[in-house]
Amino acid sequence: RSAWQSEGLVMALLSSSSIPQTRSRRQRLNDSDIPFSAFLTDSFGRRHSYLRISLTEKCNLRCQYCMPEEGVKLTPRGQLLSTSEVLTLARLFVQEGVEKIRLTGGEPLIRPDVLDIIAELRKLEGLKTIAVTTNGMNLARLLPKLKESGLDLINISLDSLVPAKFEFIVRRKGFHKVMEGIDKAIEMGYNPVKVNCVVMRGLNEDELLDFVALTEKKPLEVRFIEYMPFDGNKWNFKKMVSYQEMLDRIRQQWPSLETLPSEHADTAKTFKVPGFKGRVGFITSMSDHFCGSCNRLRLTADGNLKVCLFGNSEVSLRDVLRSGASDEDLLQIIGAAVGRKKKQHAGMFNISQMKNRPMILIGG
């Protein structure tokens, strides 16, 4: 990582010898039948058409699995991407084939210009989907303007249906605000409204059936997420409830649970109780990874490109952008980073020993 962010290597990548190579690579793309950018295609043939952009490191909650109890050291404002830098990089990725952008944080809806960013992204030709992952605290108030700006999809984090337990997990009050946001999203026609629930043994695994029951009358997709190791979240294998264990417990209550078909790059395995309006999904990053179909890249709030959520190698696009680099230069560096993406993550036990950012500084 340090080598990649060293000035010498960045300058080497920007040397004149690399630029013709970039152009010829693009030219080959234009002349061939390949329908997708070589810069966003890795050595295993995975095409990265989905970009997650963290808009801020700040959050108005302190979730136990996301942020260390002592908090995190925030990046100085001048080292974070400006709005114009976010939009410049988004435009470049969309030009190369990204069709979906998800805005994350921290909590993206506390960024003052989030509506302007969504409205500008909406103008990008080729971008099909703009999504946001939010804790829901400000959602009910902002939803009409979010929809007007062009927001297509909403994921809301909610880890307990018991107000006191919610407060314990997120270390703040606000349960009723989140529920109000979920209901408002349904009322405004978002379907499905996705609800993300990180399942932790001894904390909320006893609420699995209550969450599934929510999908009976509401067009929700409740997504149960296996507890994942990140810096400072005190991950422990014993706290992780596996997909199979969750599924078995739900099937005991609803034996007729049906498997739904999935798209190639879906992260969730989805199911439905016959007759229910909504559905449930499982994100099985730990027990049954989906690295082989991964189509996601991540841009952190301080401008680093992460090609794998669990990998600790990053490259600063912010520094390259601020050095006055052209689109060609940026693409060369993006392509090199994507090209180094590994076949799969290191496995939960190895990940738990690795140095990585806390989830709050990645953006999920």
Residue 62 identity: R
Residues 6+ apart with CB under 8 A from 52: 101, 102, 103, 104, 296, 297, 298, 299, 363, 364
Q: What is the mean pLDDT of the chain?
A: 85
- pTM score, two decimals? 0.85
Token reading at 284 = 């099985």
Segment (H or E) for 143: helix 139-149
Q: What is the CATH number of domain 38-361?
A: 3.20.20.70
Cα–Cα dist 141/184, whole Å: 9
pLDDT at 109: 97
Q: Tell me how far apart the alpha carbons of residues 54 and 104 are, in angstroms, rounded to a whole number.
A: 5
Domain boundaries defined on the chain: 38-361
pLDDT per position as a tens digit, 78-125:
999 999 999 999 999 999 999 999 999 999 999 999 999 999 999 999
Half-sphere exposure (CA, 13 Å, Cβ side) for 112? 1
List the alpha helices (DSSP H) in 14-129.
18-31, 83-95, 114-122
Angle formed at CA 5 by CA 316 and CA 54, multiple of 5 degrees: 25
Q: What is the DSSP secondary-structure string of 165-214?
A: HHHHHHSS--HHHHHHHHHHHHHTT-SSEEEEEEEBTTTTGGGHHHHHHH
Percent of the chain residues topping a pLDDT of 70: 81
Residue 352 is predicted with a pLDDT of 53
Cβ neighbors of 99 (< 8 A, separation 6 or more) are 49, 50, 126, 127, 128, 129
Q: Please count the residues of the chain.
A: 364
Confidence of residue 236 (pLDDT cuts 50, 70, 90): low
Which of the four pLDDT bands, split at 50, 70 and 90, describes residue 5?
Answer: very low
- State residue 67's pLDDT score: 73
Asked which of 6-15, 146-155, 267-276 is least confident by mean pLDDT, the reply is 6-15
Q: Is the bond preceding 274 in cis, omega lying within 30 degrees of 0?
A: no
